[in-house]
Structure 1
Amino acid sequence: MPAPTSPADLYRHSLRLLLDKNIPAWVALWADDGLMEFPFAPDGWPRRLEGKQAIATYMRHYPDHIDLHGFPDLRIHHTTDPRTLVVEMRGTGRLVKSDAPFDTTYIAVVTVQHGRITTYRDYWNPLAVQEPGADFTRRNR
Protein backbone atom coordinates (compact mmCIF):
# COMPACT_ATOMS: atom_id res chain seq x y z
CA MET A 1 0.00 0.00 0.00
CA PRO A 2 1.53 3.37 -0.97
CA ALA A 3 1.98 5.99 1.72
CA PRO A 4 -0.69 8.70 1.89
CA THR A 5 0.27 11.96 0.23
CA SER A 6 -1.83 14.60 2.01
CA PRO A 7 0.28 16.07 4.81
CA ALA A 8 -2.24 15.20 7.55
CA ASP A 9 -2.76 11.64 6.33
CA LEU A 10 0.97 11.12 5.91
CA TYR A 11 1.57 12.38 9.45
CA ARG A 12 -1.08 10.05 10.91
CA HIS A 13 0.47 7.19 8.95
CA SER A 14 3.91 8.08 10.37
CA LEU A 15 2.55 7.83 13.92
CA ARG A 16 1.11 4.37 13.19
CA LEU A 17 4.53 3.26 11.91
CA LEU A 18 6.19 4.51 15.11
CA LEU A 19 3.66 2.62 17.23
CA ASP A 20 4.33 -0.48 15.11
CA LYS A 21 8.06 0.09 15.69
CA ASN A 22 8.59 0.04 11.93
CA ILE A 23 11.43 2.54 11.82
CA PRO A 24 12.58 1.65 8.26
CA ALA A 25 9.08 2.38 6.89
CA TRP A 26 8.95 5.60 8.96
CA VAL A 27 12.28 6.73 7.51
CA ALA A 28 11.03 5.87 4.01
CA LEU A 29 8.43 8.64 4.41
CA TRP A 30 11.25 11.21 4.31
CA ALA A 31 12.68 13.10 1.35
CA ASP A 32 16.34 12.28 0.74
CA ASP A 33 17.32 15.81 1.79
CA GLY A 34 14.87 15.95 4.72
CA LEU A 35 15.71 18.09 7.73
CA MET A 36 14.78 17.23 11.33
CA GLU A 37 15.37 19.85 14.02
CA PHE A 38 15.12 19.83 17.82
CA PRO A 39 15.04 23.51 18.85
CA PHE A 40 14.94 22.70 22.58
CA ALA A 41 17.79 20.18 22.59
CA PRO A 42 20.21 20.79 25.45
CA ASP A 43 23.92 21.28 24.82
CA GLY A 44 25.57 18.11 23.57
CA TRP A 45 22.39 16.67 22.04
CA PRO A 46 21.62 16.76 18.33
CA ARG A 47 19.81 19.91 17.25
CA ARG A 48 19.73 19.25 13.53
CA LEU A 49 19.73 16.11 11.39
CA GLU A 50 20.34 16.72 7.71
CA GLY A 51 19.30 14.08 5.21
CA LYS A 52 17.40 10.82 5.33
CA GLN A 53 20.51 8.84 6.28
CA ALA A 54 21.20 10.99 9.36
CA ILE A 55 17.56 10.68 10.40
CA ALA A 56 17.68 6.90 9.90
CA THR A 57 20.82 6.62 12.02
CA TYR A 58 19.25 8.71 14.78
CA MET A 59 15.99 6.74 14.80
CA ARG A 60 17.40 3.24 14.25
CA HIS A 61 17.36 2.24 17.93
CA TYR A 62 14.36 4.32 19.02
CA PRO A 63 12.21 1.28 19.98
CA ASP A 64 15.07 0.00 22.15
CA HIS A 65 14.78 3.13 24.29
CA ILE A 66 11.16 4.27 24.16
CA ASP A 67 8.26 1.82 23.90
CA LEU A 68 5.47 3.99 22.53
CA HIS A 69 1.93 2.96 23.36
CA GLY A 70 -0.08 5.82 21.93
CA PHE A 71 -0.44 9.39 20.79
CA PRO A 72 -3.51 10.68 22.64
CA ASP A 73 -4.77 14.20 22.23
CA LEU A 74 -3.62 14.41 18.60
CA ARG A 75 -4.56 17.74 17.04
CA ILE A 76 -3.45 18.59 13.52
CA HIS A 77 -3.68 22.25 12.54
CA HIS A 78 -3.55 23.30 8.92
CA THR A 79 -1.65 26.44 8.02
CA THR A 80 -1.90 28.94 5.18
CA ASP A 81 0.73 26.81 3.40
CA PRO A 82 -1.09 23.58 2.43
CA ARG A 83 2.19 21.65 2.70
CA THR A 84 2.76 22.60 6.35
CA LEU A 85 1.06 21.35 9.52
CA VAL A 86 1.34 22.24 13.17
CA VAL A 87 0.75 19.18 15.32
CA GLU A 88 -0.02 18.98 19.03
CA MET A 89 -0.03 15.62 20.78
CA ARG A 90 1.10 13.54 23.70
CA GLY A 91 3.31 10.52 23.39
CA THR A 92 2.74 7.82 26.00
CA GLY A 93 4.50 4.57 26.76
CA ARG A 94 7.48 3.55 28.83
CA LEU A 95 11.25 3.94 28.92
CA VAL A 96 12.58 0.51 28.07
CA LYS A 97 15.71 0.45 30.25
CA SER A 98 14.04 1.58 33.49
CA ASP A 99 10.43 0.62 32.73
CA ALA A 100 9.50 4.13 33.89
CA PRO A 101 6.39 5.70 32.36
CA PHE A 102 6.88 7.96 29.36
CA ASP A 103 4.33 10.73 28.89
CA THR A 104 5.34 13.90 27.14
CA THR A 105 3.76 16.64 25.09
CA TYR A 106 4.94 17.40 21.59
CA ILE A 107 4.43 20.27 19.21
CA ALA A 108 5.77 19.72 15.72
CA VAL A 109 5.90 21.82 12.60
CA VAL A 110 5.96 19.46 9.62
CA THR A 111 6.24 20.17 5.90
CA VAL A 112 5.40 17.57 3.27
CA GLN A 113 6.20 17.94 -0.41
CA HIS A 114 5.54 15.39 -3.15
CA GLY A 115 4.33 12.86 -0.56
CA ARG A 116 7.53 13.00 1.55
CA ILE A 117 8.41 14.74 4.81
CA THR A 118 10.89 17.52 4.01
CA THR A 119 11.13 19.31 7.35
CA TYR A 120 10.14 18.34 10.86
CA ARG A 121 10.74 20.75 13.74
CA ASP A 122 10.17 18.75 16.92
CA TYR A 123 9.42 20.90 19.97
CA TRP A 124 9.52 18.17 22.58
CA ASN A 125 11.27 18.21 25.92
CA PRO A 126 14.25 15.83 25.72
CA LEU A 127 14.53 16.01 29.50
CA ALA A 128 11.48 13.70 29.58
CA VAL A 129 13.87 10.81 28.93
CA GLN A 130 16.78 12.11 30.96
CA GLU A 131 17.27 9.75 33.84
CA PRO A 132 20.10 7.44 34.84
CA GLY A 133 20.72 5.12 31.93
CA ALA A 134 18.36 6.86 29.49
CA ASP A 135 20.72 7.71 26.68
CA PHE A 136 18.44 7.64 23.62
CA THR A 137 18.86 11.25 22.55
CA ARG A 138 22.54 11.59 23.37
CA ARG A 139 23.86 8.49 21.68
CA ASN A 140 23.88 9.79 18.10
CA ARG A 141 25.48 13.19 18.55
Structure 2
Amino acid sequence: MPDSKYAAYQPAAPYFDLVRRALGDRVDGAHFFDLVTDETVYEVLYDVPGWPRVITGRDALMAAFRGYVGAIALESADRLVVHVADGGAVIVIEYEVRGTILASGVRYANRFCSIITIGNRKIVHWRDYMDSLAAWAALTAPRGV
Protein backbone atom coordinates (compact mmCIF):
# COMPACT_ATOMS: atom_id res chain seq x y z
CA MET A 1 0.00 0.00 0.00
CA PRO A 2 1.90 3.06 -1.22
CA ASP A 3 0.37 5.79 0.95
CA SER A 4 0.14 5.97 4.76
CA LYS A 5 -3.16 7.87 4.50
CA TYR A 6 -4.67 4.49 3.67
CA ALA A 7 -2.92 2.55 6.46
CA ALA A 8 -6.25 1.75 8.16
CA TYR A 9 -7.20 -0.25 5.06
CA GLN A 10 -4.14 -2.52 5.18
CA PRO A 11 -6.25 -5.68 5.81
CA ALA A 12 -7.64 -5.27 2.26
CA ALA A 13 -4.30 -4.40 0.64
CA PRO A 14 -4.13 -7.58 -1.49
CA TYR A 15 -7.46 -6.66 -3.12
CA PHE A 16 -6.53 -3.02 -3.64
CA ASP A 17 -3.16 -3.97 -5.11
CA LEU A 18 -4.73 -6.53 -7.47
CA VAL A 19 -7.24 -3.97 -8.78
CA ARG A 20 -4.54 -1.36 -9.27
CA ARG A 21 -2.40 -3.88 -11.17
CA ALA A 22 -5.38 -5.02 -13.28
CA LEU A 23 -6.22 -1.50 -14.42
CA GLY A 24 -2.60 -0.61 -15.20
CA ASP A 25 -2.01 2.61 -17.07
CA ARG A 26 -5.69 3.03 -17.99
CA VAL A 27 -6.29 5.00 -14.77
CA ASP A 28 -4.50 7.64 -12.72
CA GLY A 29 -3.71 7.17 -9.03
CA ALA A 30 -1.49 5.01 -6.89
CA HIS A 31 -4.10 3.47 -4.58
CA PHE A 32 -7.57 2.03 -5.20
CA PHE A 33 -9.21 5.00 -3.46
CA ASP A 34 -7.30 7.37 -5.75
CA LEU A 35 -9.01 5.69 -8.73
CA VAL A 36 -12.55 6.60 -7.67
CA THR A 37 -14.36 9.94 -7.52
CA ASP A 38 -17.31 11.49 -5.71
CA GLU A 39 -19.50 10.26 -8.59
CA THR A 40 -18.21 6.67 -8.82
CA VAL A 41 -20.96 4.05 -8.44
CA TYR A 42 -19.86 0.76 -6.82
CA GLU A 43 -22.60 -1.81 -7.26
CA VAL A 44 -22.69 -5.32 -5.80
CA LEU A 45 -25.14 -7.84 -7.20
CA TYR A 46 -25.39 -9.99 -4.09
CA ASP A 47 -26.56 -9.60 -0.51
CA VAL A 48 -24.09 -9.58 2.37
CA PRO A 49 -25.34 -8.37 5.75
CA GLY A 50 -24.00 -4.90 6.45
CA TRP A 51 -22.80 -4.24 2.89
CA PRO A 52 -24.96 -1.95 0.72
CA ARG A 53 -25.99 -3.00 -2.78
CA VAL A 54 -25.03 0.40 -4.25
CA ILE A 55 -22.38 2.78 -2.94
CA THR A 56 -21.97 6.19 -4.55
CA GLY A 57 -18.85 8.27 -4.12
CA ARG A 58 -15.37 7.95 -2.74
CA ASP A 59 -16.22 8.84 0.88
CA ALA A 60 -19.07 6.33 1.05
CA LEU A 61 -16.87 3.63 -0.49
CA MET A 62 -14.11 4.33 2.01
CA ALA A 63 -16.65 4.11 4.86
CA ALA A 64 -17.92 0.76 3.57
CA PHE A 65 -14.39 -0.59 3.34
CA ARG A 66 -13.71 0.52 6.94
CA GLY A 67 -16.38 -1.99 7.90
CA TYR A 68 -14.88 -4.61 5.59
CA VAL A 69 -11.37 -4.34 7.04
CA GLY A 70 -12.88 -4.51 10.53
CA ALA A 71 -14.40 -7.87 9.63
CA ILE A 72 -12.01 -9.57 7.19
CA ALA A 73 -8.24 -9.59 6.84
CA LEU A 74 -7.10 -10.67 3.39
CA GLU A 75 -3.90 -12.60 2.94
CA SER A 76 -3.97 -12.81 -0.83
CA ALA A 77 -5.76 -11.79 -3.99
CA ASP A 78 -4.69 -13.60 -7.12
CA ARG A 79 -5.68 -15.76 -10.11
CA LEU A 80 -6.29 -12.51 -11.94
CA VAL A 81 -7.73 -12.63 -15.44
CA VAL A 82 -8.24 -9.31 -17.23
CA HIS A 83 -10.57 -8.82 -20.20
CA VAL A 84 -10.50 -5.50 -22.04
CA ALA A 85 -13.61 -4.35 -23.91
CA ASP A 86 -14.99 -1.25 -25.61
CA GLY A 87 -11.55 0.05 -26.55
CA GLY A 88 -10.36 -0.09 -22.94
CA ALA A 89 -13.34 1.78 -21.46
CA VAL A 90 -14.60 -1.45 -19.88
CA ILE A 91 -12.36 -3.83 -17.98
CA VAL A 92 -13.63 -7.16 -16.66
CA ILE A 93 -11.52 -8.78 -13.97
CA GLU A 94 -11.82 -12.24 -12.50
CA TYR A 95 -9.91 -13.00 -9.31
CA GLU A 96 -9.85 -14.85 -6.00
CA VAL A 97 -9.25 -13.65 -2.46
CA ARG A 98 -8.30 -15.53 0.70
CA GLY A 99 -8.19 -14.39 4.28
CA THR A 100 -9.69 -14.70 7.74
CA ILE A 101 -13.00 -13.62 9.27
CA LEU A 102 -11.71 -11.66 12.26
CA ALA A 103 -14.64 -12.29 14.64
CA SER A 104 -14.45 -16.07 14.34
CA GLY A 105 -11.00 -16.93 12.99
CA VAL A 106 -12.71 -18.82 10.14
CA ARG A 107 -10.78 -19.04 6.88
CA TYR A 108 -12.36 -17.21 3.96
CA ALA A 109 -11.92 -17.83 0.23
CA ASN A 110 -14.01 -16.39 -2.56
CA ARG A 111 -14.11 -15.81 -6.31
CA PHE A 112 -15.18 -12.56 -7.95
CA CYS A 113 -15.94 -11.08 -11.33
CA SER A 114 -15.98 -7.30 -11.55
CA ILE A 115 -17.00 -5.18 -14.51
CA ILE A 116 -15.31 -1.79 -14.34
CA THR A 117 -16.14 1.21 -16.51
CA ILE A 118 -13.39 3.81 -16.92
CA GLY A 119 -13.98 7.47 -17.76
CA ASN A 120 -11.52 10.36 -17.62
CA ARG A 121 -8.88 7.91 -16.31
CA LYS A 122 -10.95 7.06 -13.20
CA ILE A 123 -13.38 4.32 -12.25
CA VAL A 124 -16.88 5.63 -12.98
CA HIS A 125 -18.81 2.40 -12.40
CA TRP A 126 -18.04 -0.92 -10.73
CA ARG A 127 -20.35 -3.93 -10.91
CA ASP A 128 -19.35 -6.87 -8.73
CA TYR A 129 -20.35 -10.54 -8.69
CA MET A 130 -19.10 -13.14 -6.19
CA ASP A 131 -19.68 -16.63 -4.88
CA SER A 132 -22.34 -15.72 -2.32
CA LEU A 133 -22.38 -19.21 -0.82
CA ALA A 134 -18.65 -19.00 0.00
CA ALA A 135 -19.19 -15.69 1.80
CA TRP A 136 -22.24 -16.97 3.68
CA ALA A 137 -20.43 -20.17 4.75
CA ALA A 138 -17.46 -18.20 6.09
CA LEU A 139 -19.57 -15.58 7.86
CA THR A 140 -21.84 -18.13 9.55
CA ALA A 141 -19.34 -20.89 10.35
CA PRO A 142 -18.68 -21.69 14.00
CA ARG A 143 -15.59 -20.09 15.54
CA GLY A 144 -12.25 -21.65 14.61
CA VAL A 145 -13.51 -23.77 11.69
Q: TM-score, normalization: structure 1? A: 0.70
Partner Cα separation in structure 1 for residue 131 and residue 51 of structure 2: 12
Among candidates 46, 56, 60, match of residue 62 of structure 2: 56
Matched, 1:85 2:85: no
User: Which structure 2 residue ranges, 5 or more long, are not aligned?
Assistant: 3-19
* CA gap 1:39/1:112 in 2 versus in 1, 3 angstroms: same
Matched, 1:130 2:139: yes
Q: Where does residue 13 of structure 2 map in the other structure?
A: none
Q: Where does residue 8 of structure 1 map in the other structure?
A: 23
Matched, 1:46 2:70: no
* Per-residue deviation, 1:126: 4.5
Matched, 1:104 2:110: yes
Flag the structure with higher helix content: 2
* Per-residue deviation, 1:91: 0.7
* Per-residue deviation, 1:88: 0.6
Q: How many residues matched? A: 120
* Per-residue deviation, 1:49: 0.8
Of stretches 64-73 and 102-111 in structure 1, the one that deviates more from structure 2 is 64-73
Q: Where does residue 113 of structure 1 map in the other structure?
A: 119
* CA gap 1:87/1:51 in 2 versus in 1, 3 angstroms: same
Instruction: Give, as a single letter, the amino acid of the residue that structure 1 aligns with 2:140.
Output: E
Partner Cα separation in structure 2 for residue 50 and residue 115 of structure 1: 18
RMSD: 3.2
User: Which structure 1 residue ranges, 5 or more long, are not aligned?
Assistant: 18-24, 134-141
Q: TM-score, normalization: structure 2? A: 0.68
